[in-house]
Amino acid sequence: MEEIWKDIPDYEGMYQVSNLGNVKSLTRIITRKNKTTALVKGKKLKTPLNNVGYFHVIISKNHKQKIITIHQLVAIVFLNHKPDGYNLVINHKNFIRTDNRVENLEITTPRDNSNAKHLKSTSKYTGVHWCKRQNKWIATILINKKKKYIGQFKNEIDASIAYENKLKTIL
């Protein structure tokens, strides 16, 4: 796949991100705090892992630094993602947090991002998991960041229906 580079919004002419998840600074003249100017050569930027396993980068403008994850930059530039808190989030389709290729990223809701189909789960349904100890399917739902117990069921489909019914009452 050919690597395609595009400017990072608000940092045009300064930084670019690629469809493969690489970030580089561009050669440019900067003004230092003491009002002198200097030529800064462009280079590929280092992208260390943050404390939750995502690559990030530090970019700066007007003497202010910004730390941003690579998958966020790729989504902004190539998927037209508009960061808006936690209304929409970026999902790594293959579950590998360090794979920031544009084809591996998708914009989704936090609920869909935590959906069982995206996680290593015992159930293919959202909000349902197998409880070995009780030998039953358990349905739970997250409401205002608190896990609420819905019930236990003999089969997976009944647990899923209970989850969906509970979801309808809160939406």
CA–CA separation, 112 and 122 (whole Å): 17
The pLDDT of residue 116: 44
- pTM beyond 0.85, yes or no: no
- Runs of H (alpha helix) within 15-155: 70-78, 110-113
Could you give all domains of the chain from N- to C-terminal order, each with its CATH number? Answer: 5-109 (3.90.75.20), 114-170 (3.30.730)
- Residue 140 vs residues 108, 113, 128, 156: alpha-carbon distances, Å: 21, 16, 7, 13
The pLDDT of residue 43: 97
* Average pLDDT per block of 10 residues along the chain, 171 residues long: 96 97 96 91 96 94 94 97 87 91 92 61 82 91 85 94 90 69
The pLDDT of residue 23: 98
CA–CA separation, 157 and 55 (whole Å): 38
Return the closest-CA partner of residue 50 out of 98, 118, 114: 98
Residue-wise pLDDT for 106-118, tens only, equals: 998 877 776 645 5
The pLDDT of residue 11: 97
Residue-wise pLDDT for 32-55, tens only, equals: 889 999 999 999 999 999 998 999
The pLDDT of residue 146: 83
